[in-house]
Structure 1
Amino acid sequence: MGDQIELNRRYIPRLPSQTQTQSKRKGAGARTWLVVSKLGQVSVEELGKQTVMRRTGITAHDLRVVEPELSYPAAVLRRERAVVVNLEHVKAIVTAEEVLVPNPRDPRIASFVYDLEFKLSADFSATMTREKAMEQLPTDTPPEASGSRREAKMRYSKPLPFEFRALEICLQSVCKSLESETSTLEEEAYPTLDQLSAKTSTNNLKRVRVIKGRLVSLTGRVQKVRNEFEHILDDDMDMAQMYLTDKLATLQHEGVSEDEMDDDADVILLGTDINENMSSKCSTLFASDLKPNVEELEMLVGSYFVEIEGILNKLSTEYVHDTEDYINIVLDDKQNQLLRMGLVISTASFMITVAIVAIGFLSINIRIPLFDFGTYTQWYEAFGGCVVCSVFLYIMAVLVFKFLGLLG
């Protein structure tokens, strides 16, 4: 354990004292970073861009991906010496030695920062306890005791590498946040949909429209995270590149010196591709494995892939679509009622117009008693006959419409 820690410490390039002093100043390009080391040590440091690039081996473009001020699509970038995580509110750079989180005082990531500090420190303590227990197990055991020793070894099995434990915290924080938003949306959506089903009003429609917008937005975000998980699981070689601790141990075994690591860091600062020295050796070592053993990482990402699938299924519930279909049916029925009412009113107007035309036509051929001092009997008879004919024709028209199915 002590030798491994010493080798891992050599993995971080040592900066000159002048560079370290400048990185602590709040100058151009300096930012506050939370640094959680493999040994469980937590610190908040002011680091410049070049310092972060040297320590993690990433490029300037990768560094911009985790800047809180910029908006980049969800991505988990696999690099030679680091994994860059940009998922929802979680932005972190994970190496084999430490985790760097920008702007740790942001209230939106307070829960993620707490989990990172607490769980990584607890994991380190548990690892030390496990290794002490393994050292205390007897080496020479009789055949009858081999079974109990095997059980003890299984109980104190090898833990996940540091980068996987940090990655698991990142994925867990993302899934927890999306699950919380989904539950909150469900609590608001179901009562509103029930109210809309009971009474289709303008206010209820406005509330459902707002909830539907939130639902579409949250579904899109969950879908992006799901696609990134699926992209990781689809390529075994990409997953093999994320075994940073194994790559570090292999490079140390192959004789890659600290000076060569520093040279790679200088190449990164100059903005050139990482295709020489350590990068070429890493590519050569991992290209020889046609079928890399990525079972640990596959199980880790697969479990959270299933969880994100469950969240996506919640957002795609049939209850919302059923309510939409029901509301559309209600609105169509209201529209049909309006059309039927319009048809009845139009028919009545037509009949009244016919009666008015008939009365006007007959009035010019009937003698008006006002001029011959007679009675109004003739005019009343003509007027009554026109009204009765109009009502009769209107009733006949309504019966014909019902017979044809136009009025239901």
Structure 2
Amino acid sequence: MRGPRPEDFDTNAGHPTPTFPAGGSRKKGMGVRTWLVLCSSGKEQATEAGKHTIMRRTGLPARDLRILDPLLSYPSTVLGRERAIVINLEHIKAIITGQEVLILNSKDPSVAPFIEELQRRIRCHHHATKPQEGVNTEGAAQGEAGTSQLSGEEARKDKKQSLGNQDGSKVLPFEFVALEACLEAAITSLESEAVRLELEAHPALDKLTIKINTLNLERVRQIKSRLVAITGRVQKVRDELEKLLNDDEDMAEMYLTDKLAQKQLENSTASSTSDTVVVDLPEGDEDDRHVADYFEHATLVSSESCHRGSDAHNLLMRAHSALSRNSRGTSSTRSGMTNKLNVQELEMLLEAYFVQIDGILNKLSTLTEYVDDTEDYINIMLDDKQNNLLQMGVMLTTAGLVMSLFIAVAGVFGMNINIELFNDEVAGPGKFMWTVVGGTAGSLFLYFGAIGWYKHSRLLE
């Protein structure tokens, strides 16, 4: 690597100081951006945060944040991570967590309608789940001792029952409400652009078929360029949704509310069981009900056989090993069944927008076929005109050849020779006229004979 040159240093001071480009300070400050934060209650707050702050807040790696960088050109992407969902769809650049939504380009005029719609949906979701949360809180206060013994499956059922309206209708989790708003805004934008392009394309193509000129050709060229660009964007969104629908694990990663509820359940159960026996549990054990049963059994046996200290210790170790095997298998089975059931909910949401984006792509494909058909028609017309020009060229060339023969005869008669035809007393003007008329008739006969032979040979139509 080349070191700094001597002219890169400022020698006016006591010690040489390297001078850096003027844009260095600007690049250093580019990491801090303005984010619009929408909490689960619908309140908004604009905050300035750097890359590392967002990483700590959402748990996302740096490579996922680069997807949202407006200075970089990344295609449409939907990523599900452990604590957040990254959305990069058209003009929508957001991060969805289990409790809030962070929007990057909130000052963009095209994003303002999306923010209003998202805020309205979040408030509706908050009002729909707030009464149920109040009821669940009162029930939890009355039966605090009983709820500590609930299994993971029962707790998830209570969580799902809380996500419902008073009339019994299902309410989506917070992250799915925000995800649905992002998908609808992006797909609606693409659909409106596709409809506008279709309305402009048909009249321009019809004018081109009627009259081929430079203005109409330039207009169709611009429309085709826009059509190729929007088709690529729609195809990318469709591929991203199809990729999510084909991978259940990616969809399971997007259940942020269930992850938060499961984490709270594990923390509460761990704190309740720690009062009885203090043992380091291995990671991945999710069935805490078996934990209480095994350790309660081990405690009873050890109290009855207190005079056998070594036997009680061995029994406790065997119970812990059996717990590890049994709990690991049971938790994996129940987790798989729960994810399968939960994924169906997200799958239905994604399929609805997949069908919509697929319809937009079909519409653009139809428009592309119409443009291609128009191009084929224009090429056929141009080929026909070119054929007509070639036929006219053949006829003119033949006429020129016949005229050159007549001119050759006139040149022969123009030579300075003495013959009786040039003697007025012998030939007279009558023979001269017969010579001119005969040469003209012979030329016409040769011309029409050549044209007839061309048509007989199918060289001319």
Q: Return the TM-score normalized by structure 1.
A: 0.76
- Which residue does 1:149 correspond to in 2? none
2:247 alignment partner, one of 235, 239, 251 = 235
1:295 alignment partner, one of 337, 344, 362 = 344
Query: More displaced, 47-56 or 385-394?
Result: 385-394
| Distance apart, 1:377 and its partner CA | 5.1
Instruction: Give the percent of matched residue pairs that are identical in Structure 1 and Structure 2.
Output: 50
Conserved 8 A contact 2:84-2:256: yes
Conserved 8 A contact 2:402-2:446: yes
Tell me the alpha carbon deviations over residues 223-253 of structure 1, each in whole angstroms, 9 at most, x when there is no partner: 1111111111111111111111112222222
| Distance apart, 1:292 and its partner CA | 2.4
| Distance apart, 1:369 and its partner CA | 8.2
Whole-angstrom distance in 1 between the partners of 2:404 and 2:421: 27
Query: More displaced, 351-360 or 202-211?
Result: 351-360
Match of 2:103, SS?
strand
Conserved 8 A contact 1:368-1:376: no
- Which residue does 1:251 correspond to in 2? 263
- Structural mapping, 1:143-158, within 5 Å: 155-158=167-170
- Which residue does 1:395 correspond to in 2? 448
> Is 1:355 matched with 2:406?
yes
Whole-angstrom distance in 2 between the partners of 1:63 and 1:399: 78
Distance 1:363 1:172, change over 3 A: same
| Distance apart, 1:103 and its partner CA | 2.7
Match of 2:460, SS?
coil
Distance 1:332 1:280, change over 3 A: farther
2:238 alignment partner, one of 206, 219, 226 = 226
Whole-angstrom distance in 2 between the partners of 1:134 and 1:383: 118
| Distance apart, 1:68 and its partner CA | 1.9
Tell me the alpha carbon deviations over residues 26-82 of structure 1, each in whole angstroms, 9 at most, x when there is no partner: 956221101111222211111111111111000111111112222111111121111
- Which residue does 2:312 correspond to in 1? none
Distance 1:105 1:134, change over 3 A: same
Conserved 8 A contact 2:128-2:171: no
| Distance apart, 1:132 and its partner CA | 6.7
- Which residue does 2:309 correspond to in 1? none
Conserved 8 A contact 1:31-1:103: no
- Which residue does 1:320 correspond to in 2? 371
Conserved 8 A contact 1:196-1:205: yes
Conserved 8 A contact 2:96-2:178: yes
Q: Which amino acid aligns with 2:189?
A: S
Number of equivalenced pairs? 347
| Distance apart, 1:397 and its partner CA | 1.7
Tell me the alpha carbon deviations over residues 297-342 of structure 1, each in whole angstroms, 9 at most, x when there is no partner: 1111111111111111111124333323322222222122112211
Match of 2:35, SS?
strand
1:339 alignment partner, one of 373, 390, 397 = 390
Whole-angstrom distance in 1 between the partners of 2:376 and 2:132: 58
| Distance apart, 1:171 and its partner CA | 0.3
- Structural mapping, 1:148-227, within 5 Å: 155-227=167-239
Conserved 8 A contact 2:183-2:353: yes
Q: Return the TM-score normalized by structure 2.
A: 0.68
Distance 1:203 1:366, change over 3 A: farther
Match of 2:94, SS?
strand
Distance 1:160 1:392, change over 3 A: same
Distance 1:234 1:364, change over 3 A: same
Whole-angstrom distance in 1 between the partners of 2:285 and 2:432: 112
Distance 1:373 1:352, change over 3 A: closer
- Which residue does 2:107 correspond to in 1? 105
Whole-angstrom distance in 1 between the partners of 2:202 and 2:111: 29
Distance 1:297 1:190, change over 3 A: same
Whole-angstrom distance in 2 between the partners of 1:32 and 1:153: 35
Distance 1:51 1:234, change over 3 A: same
Whole-angstrom distance in 2 between the partners of 1:105 and 1:134: 39
| Distance apart, 1:295 and its partner CA | 0.8
Whole-angstrom distance in 2 between the partners of 1:406 and 1:256: 94
Whole-angstrom distance in 1 between the partners of 2:30 and 2:408: 90
Q: Work out which structure has the larger RCO, using CA pairs closer than 8 Å and 6 or more positions apart in sequence.
A: 1
Match of 1:100, SS?
strand
Tell me the alpha carbon deviations over residues 131-153 of structure 1, each in whole angstroms, 9 at most, x when there is no partner: 679999xxxxxxxxxxxxxxx98
- Which residue does 1:47 correspond to in 2? 49
Structure 1 gaps of 5+ residues are 1-25, 137-151, 258-276
Conserved 8 A contact 2:98-2:257: yes
Match of 2:340, SS?
coil
Conserved 8 A contact 2:173-2:257: yes
Conserved 8 A contact 2:421-2:431: no
Tell me the alpha carbon deviations over residues 253-283 of structure 1, each in whole angstroms, 9 at most, x when there is no partner: 23399xxxxxxxxxxxxxxxxxxx99999xx
| Distance apart, 1:366 and its partner CA | 5.7
- Which residue does 2:353 correspond to in 1? 304
2:83 alignment partner, one of 60, 81, 84 = 81
| Distance apart, 1:198 and its partner CA | 2.1
Match of 2:244, SS?
helix
| Distance apart, 1:208 and its partner CA | 1.1
Distance 1:29 1:368, change over 3 A: same
Distance 1:316 1:89, change over 3 A: same
Whole-angstrom distance in 2 between the partners of 1:134 and 1:153: 13
